[in-house]
Amino acid sequence: MSRNDYQVIIGLEIHAELSTKTKIFCSCPTEFGGQPNTHVCPVCMAMPGALPVLNEKVVEYAVKAGLATNCEISRDSKNDRKNYYYPDLPKSYQISQFDKPLCENGYVEIDTKNGKKKIRLERIHIEEDAGKLNHDDFGGGSLVDLNRAGVPLIEIVSKPDLRSAEEVESYMRKIKSILEYIEVSDCKMQEGSLRADVNVSVHKPEEPFGTRTEMKNMNSFRSITRAIEYEIERQIDVLEDGGKIEQETLRWDDVSGKTFSMRDKEDAQDYRYFPEPDLVAIKLSEEYIENIKNTLPELPESRKQRYLQEYELSEKDANIITASKYLSDLFESAIKVCNNPKSVNNWIISDISRILNETETEPIAIPFDGNQLGKLVILIDNGTISSSIGKKVLEELFEKPRDPEDIIKEKGWIQISDEGAIKEIVMKILEANPQSIADFKAGKDRALGFLVGQAMKETKGKANPKMLNEMFLEELKK
Ligand code: ADP
Ligand code: MG
Ligand code: ZN
């Protein structure tokens, strides 16, 4: 029996903050940031006697998420109190859902290295977020900020169907992309709008599932992958040494690259769930659900198929673009302007993706719009600028978005396509490089590329490269 004979079992509980304007049980704003304790009222501060009122948008958004992930929608659902103590939870209970969640038994399809795979969803329920504790570096101790208390969440619980860190990443990206498409969450992971509790266990295939540990509140793909890989190895080590895995809640530490025990795992009964007495049951009519169904937009998979057929994108490119609603919207609005899907595709896949990676920016934060990207493509297509100037215009669009035409006027980047002017440059470069002329005549074609490169350098990328090529050839053949 070797280490490789263990099978890995993973299930995720994903929390997504809903992008409703107001909180789940009061009318305080959900907006991120703000001075501590300014987005609060008696309800979300848990003053005695304050009563919650369920925000209908929260139900709508959760049902939308359920429909987009193939769930059954409960006609009869309710809220429950989940009792626990934490300093950022002033009520000492969280209003959540216990035995009657809004959505159940769904699935999403993910891409794995062995093809497509269905990941089953156990449930999606609604609940309120807790506040935040900020450590006070000056005074010591912790300060409570209740701005986040009562921000609506959906919790999406998967069945233990995931088998590796790669599958988890693929699943998490799929959920993120669906939630973005249906516009129920901004899914900003750095701000904690999307975070996951990751449950991991290992077992030998002929034996039942092993005991799981749970890593709480993971909010970056990289940490999730590292944490899972670490935890798998740790559990196998324990078992190979003849030990036993304790069911516990762990904290992943990105700096040391290790998991640490936070507390023994609690069971549902420890929370003493009971029906929330201050709220009525949630009864949904067929008509209500049908109406929400009708508002569902086109989802990533269907957009992808359309891109393959209508625009003949490669499967890989279509996957990258449609994975993000923002990239996909950018793509569609840019091609409406320039009618050149191939070129817009290339800009998004290469230069735009590179800049996003380098600056660790999410597509949602791209500062320019499809109209501006489309105009950039037109300027290249009609020869006003070269594609190397195009790259500089793109950088400007990231820096300070404005009309690409204004950018090139302002910077004096218009392409030199005047025959006389090109000729002048060609002659100047030839004069300065007699060795290249000799090389070319001796059959070294590379010399031509070098000369064109020199001319581009001389003109700071503004000369029309096609004209340069032709004119150099003409002169060299004389
Ligand atoms: P709780 O709400 O107490 O955390 P659940 O039974 O709802 O417990 O399960 C939480 C998550 O743990 C689910 O996503 C489920 O898929 C996952 N899970 C359950 N059993 C295992 C296991 N043996 N190994 C890994 N994950 C598991
Ligand atoms: Mg859990
Ligand atoms: Zn409030």
For atom 13 of ligand 1, the residue with the nearest CA is 11
Q: Which amino acid is at 228?
A: I
Give the separation between CA 175 and CA 79, rounded to whole angstroms.
24
CB distance 201 to ligand 1 below 6 Å: yes
Q: How far is the CA of 201 from the centre of ligand 1 (A)?
A: 10
The answer to whether the CB of 54 falls within 8 A of the CB of 158 is: no
Quote the tokens at residue 420. 């006389």
CA 206-211-213 angle, 5° bins: 135
Alpha helices in 295-445, H assignment, sequence order: 300-310, 315-323, 325-338, 341-347, 353-358, 370-381, 387-399, 404-411, 419-432, 434-441
For residue 265, which atom of ligand 1 is closest to its CA?
3
CB distance 235 to ligand 1 below 6 Å: no
The answer to whether the CB of 387 falls within 8 A of the CB of 401 is: no
**Under DSSP, is residue 55 helix (H, G, I), strand (E, B) or coil?**
coil
Phi (first) and psi of residue 135, to 5 degrees: -70, 135
Q: Which of 80, 123, 212 to mutate to test the pocket of ligand 1 (most atoms within 8 A of CB)?
A: 212
Give me the residue label for tokens 């109406």.
Answer: 291
Q: What's the confidence (pLDDT) of residue 145? A: 96
CB distance 289 to ligand 1 below 6 Å: no
For residue 13, which atom of ligand 1 is closest to its CA?
14
Give me the residue label for tokens 């626990």.
Answer: 84
Q: Which of 13, 162, 198, 209 to mutate to test the pocket of ligand 1 (most atoms within 8 A of CB)?
A: 13
The answer to whether the CB of 185 falls within 8 A of the CB of 17 is: yes
Reading phi first (left if > 0) and then psi (alpha if -120 to 50, else beta), residue 70 is in left
CA 148-152-154 angle, 5° bins: 125
CB distance 158 to ligand 1 below 6 Å: yes
Q: What's the confidence (pLDDT) of residue 348? A: 97
CB distance 467 to ligand 1 below 6 Å: no
Q: What's the confidence (pLDDT) of residue 335? A: 97
Question: Low-confidence residues of the chain, pLDDT below 70?
Answer: 1, 265, 268
Q: How far is the CA of 463 from the centre of ligand 2 (A)?
A: 62
Q: How far is the CA of 213 from the centre of ligand 2 (A)?
A: 10
Q: Which amino acid is at 263?
A: R
Chain-centroid distance of CA 349 in Å reads 16
Residues sharing a CB contact under 8 Å with residue 303, sequence separation 6 or more, in sequence order: 322, 328
Strand residue runs (E) in 141-275: 142-145, 152-158, 194-203, 213-218, 248-253, 258-264, 274-275
Quote the tokens at residue 56. 């209908």
- On the CB side of 432, CA atoms within 13 Å amount to 12
Quote the tokens at residue 197. 């509790």
Instruction: Report pTM.
Output: 0.83
